[in-house]
Amino acid sequence: MNSIYYFFNFMIGSCLASHALVIYERWPEQNTIFSRSHCSNCKFELLLLDEIPIFSFLFLKGRCRYCQSPIPAELFLFEIIGGIAFTTIDFSNKNCILTSILLFSLLLTTIADYNQQSFDLLFLVPAAVIALLYNQFANYKLIDWISFGCITFVLSWNIFKQKMGSGDLLIYLIIASYFSATAASLALLVASFLAITVFIIEQNNKKQSFPFLPYIFIGLIFTQFLI
């Protein structure tokens, strides 16, 4: 039963990730709810079967059914990441519903940051509001405040030195407020490890900067399975 439960949660998460991708692509000019999905190249409206996350990409071999133009692999990757992010969510629990909304908001922000290394602050509003309402700072112990203060200082210093964007700090504060200082620190640790690994692998790449929020989001997913 657990495997079925996790599978359905994974598919719900991948569907939410797919919708987040649609919102990002159409924001803010187009309707993100009622208009039909279409190929960005040939503009043909997609069949319902073509909109099934992950499986449609595999079935169509990563190409549009009509014009055969390649579907960006990033879409497939984000659907998988979204699926994993929601795997452990208990959708019958009120608090977990809030977690789902927060994760969706962070995922949408992550998608925007990945594509343009910036994001509309409106994407982050739901997550910020939920984090403030569910404020965990009151439960912090001394060690939590020390950890939180040190990391906040380091992030702020790097922002001042223009080595990081302010969005990275905002995401850290949201995770620390809604989950815990431990979760936020672990997510950042995993994110840093992944980012350094990718940087070493792609050290010949001439890009001077890269988005860090996707790594933080993956780090948050990692913490969900541990904490």
| Same-domain pairing of 36 and 117 | no
| Same-domain pairing of 102 and 5 | no
Listed residue (221, 157, 144) closest to 187, CA to CA: 221
| Same-domain pairing of 143 and 119 | yes
| Same-domain pairing of 53 and 140 | no
| Same-domain pairing of 107 and 1 | no
Query: Cα–Cα distances in Å, from 140 out to 127, 143, 148, 180, 185?
Result: 20, 8, 9, 8, 13
- The identity of residue 11, as a single letter, is M
Query: Cα–Cα distances in Å, from 3 out to 8, 10, 217, 226?
Result: 9, 10, 24, 18
Domain final residue, candidates 33, 61, 87: 87
- Alpha-helix residue ranges (DSSP H) falling in the chain: 2-26, 55-59, 73-85, 94-116, 121-133, 142-160, 166-178, 181-201, 213-224
Q: Compute the distance between CA of residue 135 and CA of residue 150 in angstroms, rounded to an integer.
A: 19
| Same-domain pairing of 140 and 227 | yes
Q: Based on the structure, what is the number of domains in the chain? A: 2
Q: Compute the distance between CA of residue 40 and CA of residue 30 in angstroms, rounded to an integer.
A: 13
| Same-domain pairing of 115 and 102 | yes
| Same-domain pairing of 178 and 126 | yes
| Same-domain pairing of 125 and 177 | yes
CB 24 within 8 A of CB 115: yes
The pLDDT value recorded for residue 207 is 60
Domain boundaries, position 68: 1-87
| Same-domain pairing of 125 and 68 | no
The pLDDT value recorded for residue 33 is 58
10-residue block means of pLDDT along the chain (227 residues)? 84 92 80 64 72 83 80 89 92 84 95 89 93 89 92 91 86 94 93 90 68 93 87
| Same-domain pairing of 54 and 96 | no
Domain final residue, candidates 29, 56, 87: 87
Q: Which residues pair with 38 in a beta bridge?
A: 45
128's tokens: 């910020």
| Same-domain pairing of 162 and 178 | yes
